[in-house]
Amino acid sequence: MSSLRIISPGVLSLLQDAGRFGQGQLGLTQGGPLDQHSFRWANTLVGNPINTTLIEHSVGGLIVQAQGACTVAVTGATLPLSHNGHAVPCWQAIHLAPGDELALGNVSQGLRVYLAVQGGIQVAPQFGSTATVMREGIGGLLHPAADNPQHRLGGHKLHANDCLPLASTNLTRVSLAGATKNTMPQSTPVAPLPPAVTQQTLPSAAILRLRIIEGYQATLFSAIERARFYLNPYRVSPKCDRMGYKLTGSAIRCSTQQLLSEGISAGAVQIPPDGQPIVLLNDRQTLGGYPKMGNVLSLDCWALAQATPGTEVQFAPISVEDAHNALQLDAARFTREAQRLGLTSALTQPQGRHHD
């Protein structure tokens, strides 16, 4: 079996699929890609179904070596990418020969990068998903041969010399392996994307707008507190990780501080006693008792996860109808772009189901 060897994991490299769903009753969180837009594109560019295991890399420094011929694509944050020392563009499929090295430099815009391999990284799902959640010790690369069951557990970030098993290379289902690709010399762009697509989740304006669907305890906040929340800008604090992004700015007060713990959905905006909002992301705790203003639209959560500390953000309320409209437009745009590039996509597959 072919594999991809980690020469250097860089700052943080985690195996992720679309996420773990339906396991909340065990206390297991969702995991999965922080920037789903870039995640989808990485898989789609190499012809994978959307929910295929890839590497989510943060900040920079990842270097991998192909142990067999394979096709990869890198999407997400802007960074220098080199193939055997030669600069190559992101957002396109790249063919690696056995022994070839692919090196990711440091991000210059954004934080999260996605490296997909055609056919996907082959690791056994835990609780229905390969998503790595370090805090839970679940998902990612497993070590089934270890004597102690504890050591067989996942939840590990990638380390140097980890070998990621790949699917056999002669996959027939991969639409990308069509006439176009086969007539091209190696390392030639197969499917370059227009810049408009590549920039979608990277902060382009000075202020990142976070659209909010009001819900949960929104009505427990007074009109003055809500106005304060929407009229003042906030900044991304250094306390930002896969669990959530703590923001700093005008403190928001809530009339009620005592709530029974309840289920927390993706993007929930929690207001703890210090009044500084926290946007809860993929690795959030499943239950919590702080008042919540509502939830940030997923499309904006993806962009937030690309934002670095200090980035200015501004909340803006939207209706559920507008939220659904935005999601459907985004899905339609993605499908249209993929079709235009001669790639197939299956965005409408139910969440949490593996298609391989």
The residue among 108 and 255 lying less far from other proteins, judged by its C-beta, is 255
Cβ-Cβ contacts under 8 Å for 167 (sequence gap 6 or more):
118, 119, 120, 122, 356
Total residues in contact with other proteins, by rule CB under 8 A: 49
Question: 14, 62, 107, 297: which one contacts other proteins (CB under 8 A)?
Answer: 297
265 is a contact residue toward other proteins (CB under 8 A): yes
Could you tell me which of 126, 127, 87, 115 has the C-alpha nearest to residue 12?
Answer: 115
The answer to whether the beta carbons of residues 66 and 100 sit under 8 Å apart is yes
Q: Does 268 bind other proteins (CB under 8 A)?
A: yes
Residue 149 burial (C-beta neighbours within 10 Å; 0-12, 13-18, 19+):
exposed
Contacts of 65 (CB under 8 A, 6+ apart): 4, 5, 7, 99, 100, 101, 102
**Nearer Cβ to other proteins, position 28 or 236?**
28
> What is the number of other CB atoms lying within 10 angstroms of the CB of residue 212?
23
Is the distance from CB of 106 to CB of 82 less than 8 angstroms?
Answer: no
Please report whether residue 149 would count as binding other proteins according to CB under 8 A. Answer: yes
Question: Which of 175, 351, 355, 356 touches other proteins by CB under 8 A?
Answer: 351
CB 2 to other proteins: min, Å: 27
By CB under 8 A, the residues from 206 to 235 that bind other proteins are 213-216
Q: How far is CA 153 from CA 55, 132, 149, 171, in A?
A: 18, 11, 7, 30
CA angle 265, 213, 329 (to 5 degrees): 100
Contact code string over 240-259 relative to other proteins, x by CB under 8 A: -------------------x
Q: What angle do CA 63, 66, 72 make, to 5 degrees?
A: 80
- Nearest approach, Cβ of 123 to other proteins (angstroms)? 14
**Between residue 19 and residue 78, which ones bind other proteins under the rule CB under 8 A?**
21-22, 24-28
Q: Tell which positions 119-138 bind other proteins, by CB under 8 A.
A: 126-127, 135-138
Q: Which is nearer to other proteins, 28 or 107 (CB)?
A: 28
**Chain residues in the site for other proteins (CB under 8 A):** 21-22, 24-28, 126-127, 135-138, 149, 152-153, 213-216, 259-268, 285-287, 294-295, 297-298, 320-321, 323-324, 327-328, 331, 347-348, 350-352
